[in-house]
Amino acid sequence: MRTKGVPSPRKNGVPVSEAVSKIISGNYIVLESLRMKIVNYHALGSMISSEVEELTGKKALMTTIVVAIKRFSDGLGKGRIENMSAGLKDAKLELAGGMVDMTVAGKAAQHHQFLQVFLKLQGKFGGTPYVFHLPNSVKIIAEEKDAKLLEEALWGDYETSLKKNVAKITIRLSSSAEKVPGITSYITELLFRNGVSILDAFLSYEDVVLVTQERMAAKAYQVLTEEISK
């Protein structure tokens, strides 16, 4: 769940199917192995179970993970690609460099406390930080000055980590694309196939926000522009 400007608490993580899709799409070797049908679903499920539980925020049954992997694998055919590509039609792109990817560790119950700190700083921000609530952390994508303000305000009370020199690409989807399941995993898969590594990817009701290394931002923007214009 993404909140622009003011974060809102999130009680649950993403569904198992979405977590599996995100994990696999971020691992090119696993993705290609699935495409070639040479992967044991149960072995892969055991390998990614801890990551799935991190994203979902709860214990996941192995059978549920395996079913999600199989469904993802079954959807890797040509028809899926054509459907996903069409889903990006009329999407709008925004690219912002000089960003910082901040992670604030903390369970969902602590998010309210973070919200109070965030609101006190809101009038001092030069830009509009993007806030994403996850089961065991809060992710903030912000301009460097705004990230520094947050880090100083949180110092001593929260465990924070920062990734600097990143870029944020916002893909504003059309109303039809919002209803296409797996659109985020398709986008990350498309970029991986073109040599662009994604650090984070977040889906809201209106857009997809991608975080990548700044040096890869121009290539990512080019690839996405070409895909949207097809």
Using CB atoms within 10 Å of the CB of residue 63, give its burial: 0 to 12 exposed, 13 to 18 middle, 19+ buried: exposed
Q: What is the pLDDT of residues 137-196, one digit of tens each?
A: 888 999 999 999 999 988 888 888 999 999 999 998 877 655 555 677 778 888 888 989
Q: What is the pLDDT of residues 6-39, one digit of tens each?
A: 443 334 468 898 888 888 877 767 877 887 788 8
Global pTM value: 0.67
Q: What is the DSSP letter of 40?
A: -
Torsion, Cα of 176, 80, 57, 38 (10° steps) = 180
Average pLDDT of the chain to the nearest whole number: 82
CATH code where residue 13 lies: 3.30.2130.10
Number of domains in the chain: 1
Contact 211, 141 (CB under 8 A): yes
Task: Look up the domain containing 128 and give its range.
Answer: 1-230
Residue range 98-115: mean pLDDT, rounded: 82
Position 75 pLDDT exceeds 70: yes
Contact 19, 52 (CB under 8 A): yes
Q: Identify the CA nearest to 65 among candidates 51, 81, 49.
A: 49
